[in-house]
Structure 1
Amino acid sequence: MKLRELEAFDAFIRHGGTEKAAQSIGVGQPMVSRLLSSLEQRVGFALFERKRNRLLPTSEAILFHDTVAATLDRLRELEQEARDIANLQRGNIVIAAQPIFCDTFLLDVVAAFKRDHPQVGIRIVDVGLEDMLKMMAEHACHLGLGITLETDNTGTQVTPLARCEARCIMRVDHPLNTDGPIPLPRLRDEPFVELAAGSPLRTRVDSLMQSIGIRRTIAAEMRHLRGVCGLVERGTGVALIDPIAELLLDRKKVVSHPLVPSIEWEIALFTPTHRAPAAIVSAFANAIRTEIASLQSRGLVR
């Protein structure tokens, strides 16, 4: 069956005659008659009764029209969906991101993106770096947003967005809260609030501390930096954090200092190596870049 035959049949049933059907689909009346005759031959049963030079639909034709109408409606929906995708107004995006990003600037990215693309579905999955790379490998997400600590042989394309430098945070009334950076050896006897063992930042800090002979006292561990910052605010200890986590700090209670030596890494976009992203995914990636530029202008990242 040809699409034009089905459109002519649908128009005939809806309008009750070949003349109005022809007008509705923009062809001549003889063309409608030919399309209806061709369709009748294809279906293998009588669609019309011919009385006094008029076509009257059979009972079978009325039954058949229900399916034809539903099929044409679905085709129109597909056409609209294709237009929406082409205009970046339809689709579903899955973003795997590290929790600190989900708690901070990624919220602004989603809000801004949805204003311009209200029909696009977005699902944000907060995961650690290892799980994010696993999702990328299994094609379970369209974009990954993470850091470049310990990302060798990821099997993904890594695009750096900004450079980060770890910060040391403490309560404002802490004795180490003086002007200037904090030398790591000065933290020797301090209780630490830390991310759970295995996180890239925790691993880097542990290694660096061991290299300069500092054995730390871990007062508490949390899975997310939001919790780490909350415990520092309550005086549980000091912490070394991602600079993005400064967005979570109560500046009346907690201060942030650079470290000597510095601990640096990059925020990066992770994308599939062998598959170009859909246009709507690229649009979301551009929204991330715009927000990163805002963070850079505020001095949180470089």
Structure 2
Amino acid sequence: MTMKLEQLRSFEMVARVGHFTRAAEELYLAQPSLSRQIATLEAHLGTALFHRRPTGVTLTNAGELLLPIARRMLGDAKAAEDQIQELAGLRRGRVRLGAPPTLCVSLVADVLAAFRSAHPGVELHITEGGSRFLVEALNESALDLALVVTRGTDPSVSGTELVPLLSEELVVISAATSGSPEEFTLEELSREPQVAFNRSYELRGATDAAFSAAGFEPVIAVEGGEMDAVLRFVERGLGVAVVPAMVVIDRPGLRSARLVRPSLTRTVNLARRNDVGPSAAAAAMQQFVFDAVDRLAAPGSELSRLVTAAPRD
């Protein structure tokens, strides 16, 4: 006997919600039917997958080991189903794209608008998160594609290919009426009241590391905001903030200044699995990403001084 997708789907749902009754409700199954599926799966594997308690269930060590594998198998099965359905063209399908918040408010918004206009029948699912989380989701087949940020040497991730898209400078933003200079050195920036991102942001880690390496202590006016809140606080004049250059596009309430001596940059990459081919919808989305990058970095564009497209084969 082999594991069945129905058993894995039930296992994954119980692991996610931590309760047999709620999992059965989510899957529109009778609880005895779901319990039998789990019991059959445990008998086949020869080990318990859950610790059962009156208040709910938690994963055993074997369950912890099986969970990412189950999610990947379920994702691959869904991807195969999507590809077969797409043989008739891109009249339907699904793309699950992941990106950090700094890209969701800039590049991703432009990509999705263009893609939706061209393929209105394709479902779009967006997941926001840090780059490490997104790569893990990609490898579990929870995503089809992800945009991730790297600095310095690209990490080697088994099963995942990183395609460099562009190099982008970090800039200093202030309220449009602030009269800030055209450039800030890191030392000058350290003396300005700053609106600082939540420490979970990779961008916050990069700027903190730059100040620390230079021996400067920044002045923090407001700390802990998410992307939308930080931009709004800066517009209201609470301080300046360091953001990627693309974030400032179409934001008349903000002005940007280059950060120099030293400049800070980041690389934006397209992450995709190299062991499974993309669906037709995901392949189309990938091309829309490439086209958007080319437009942003084109000579004479608003960001051409701050964004450099990476060479592609």
Select 2:245's aligned residue among 235, 243, 246: 243
User: 2:56 — aligned with what?
Assistant: none
Query: Where do 5+ consecutive residues of structure 2 fail to align?
Result: 1-82, 309-313
% identical equivalent positions? 27
Are 2:170 and 2:265, in contact at CA under 8 Å, matched by a contact in 1?
A: yes
Partners of 1:132 and 1:288 lie apart in 2 by: 17
**8 Å contact from structure 1 (residues 94, 143) kept in 2:** yes
For the residue of structure 2 that corresponds to 1:236, the secondary structure is: coil
Is 1:163 matched with 2:164?
no
> Which residue of structure 1 aligns with residue 103 of structure 2?
101
Moved over 6 A (4+): none
Q: TM-score, normalised by structure 1?
A: 0.66
Q: Which residue of 1 aligns with 2:149?
A: 147
SS state at 1:125 partner: strand
Classify 1:82/1:188 alpha carbon distance in 2 versus 1 (closer, same or farther; 3 Å): closer
SS state at 1:166 partner: strand
Contact 2:194/2:239 (<8 A) preserved: yes
Tell me the residue number matched to 1:272: 273
Unaligned runs of 5+ in 1: 1-80
- Counting only pairs closer than 5 Å after superposition, residues 205-284 of structure 1 correspond to structure 2 as 205-247=207-249, 249-250=251-252, 253-260=253-260, 261-284=262-285
Q: Does the aligned pair in 1 maintain the 2:161–2:273 contact within 8 Å?
A: yes
Aligned pairs, number: 218
Aligned letter for 1:153? S
SS in 1 for 2:289: helix
Aligned to 2:249, the other structure's residue is in SS state helix
CA contact (8 A) 2:90 2:121 kept: no
C-alpha separation in 1, matches of 2:168 and 2:162: 16
Say if 1:119 and 1:249 are closer, same or farther in 2 by CA, change over 3 A: closer
Q: State the TM-score, normalizing by the size of structure 2.
A: 0.64
How far apart are 1:226 and its partner, in Å? 2.4
Code of the residue aligned with 1:239 in structure 2: it is A
| Separation (CA, whole Å) in 2 of partners of 1:223 and 1:277 | 35
Aligned to 2:50: none
State how far apart, in whole Å, the 2-side matches of 1:107 and 1:276 are: 25
Q: Distance in 1 between matches of 2:136 and 2:293?
A: 24
Query: 1:240 offset after TM fit, Å?
Result: 0.6
